Amino acid sequence: MSDKIRGALFNALGELDGLTVLDAFAGSGALSFEAVSRGAQSVIAIENDHQAQKTIEANIKALSLISDIKLIKTSAGAWLDTSDETFDVILCDPPYDDLQPNLLIRLAERANPDGLIVYSLPPGTGVPLSITNYKLVTSKDYGDSQLVFYRRIA
């Protein structure tokens, strides 16, 4: 995710005081670190790339965020099969060449009632969330990416 889109994302989210956050495709961990800086109570960062894991782990230690960010070293799909945790905010910035819509839907199911799910996707791509369980809040295009915000209906 570019700096411009990350800035737009967190400007839209605002403060995250006391909220739990899932960063489902952590990459560099930038979303996780920003969420903590915005007041998130805790963040789970899921990443399956070994080099990215090392970078996130080093930054967690360097910034003394061991009690704030938990790094899960596996794929989002594997984690879903072993955990039942739910979150106030779910951030999904999947690899654009392997979106896996079914996985994105399964991740959305981990949102708490009234929780927010945010997808970073290629333009014109959608995630078919059930209209009975989720409400589209907004969608904004940023050139080669779009941010799509859903709220889980309580």
The more confident residue out of 45 and 96 is 45
Q: Is the pLDDT of residue 144 over 70?
A: yes
- DSSP-derived secondary structure for 72-96: EES-HHHHHTT----EEEEEE---T
Q: What is the mean pLDDT of residues 67-72?
A: 97
At residue 97, what is the residue type?
D
Give me the residues paired with residue 45 across strands.
Answer: 23, 71
Q: What is the mean pLDDT of residues 61-68?
A: 96
Choose among 153, 128, 150, 152: nearest CA to 139.
150
Q: Is 59 exposed, middle or buried (0-12, 13-18, 19+ CB in 10 A)?
A: middle
Q: Is the pLDDT of residue 130 over 90?
A: no
- At residue 131 the predicted structure's pLDDT band, cuts being 50, 70 and 90, is low
Q: Give me the pLDDT at residue 11, please.
A: 92
Choose among 70, 62, 66: nearest CA to 21.
70
DSSP structural state of residue 14: -
The H or E element that residue 37 is part of is helix 30-37
At residue 75, what is the residue type?
S
At residue 81, φ and ψ (nearest 5 deg) are -75, -15
Mean residue pLDDT across the chain: 93
The pLDDT tens digits of the residues spanning 89-112 come to 999 999 988 888 889 999 999 999
- At residue 148 the predicted structure's pLDDT band, cuts being 50, 70 and 90, is very high
Q: What is the mean pLDDT of residues 1-23?
A: 92
For the CA atoms of 30, 33, 36, 37, the dihedral, rounded to the nearest 10 degrees, stands at -90
Least-confidence region, from 37-51, 59-73, 81-95, 128-142: 128-142
Distance of alpha carbon 96 from alpha carbon 58, whole angstroms? 26
Q: What is the mean pLDDT of residues 108-126?
A: 91
Q: What is the mean pLDDT of residues 127-147?
A: 85
Domains, the chain: 3-139 (3.40.50.150)
Pairing mode of beta strands 111-121, 87-92: parallel
Q: Give me the pLDDT at residue 33, please.
A: 96
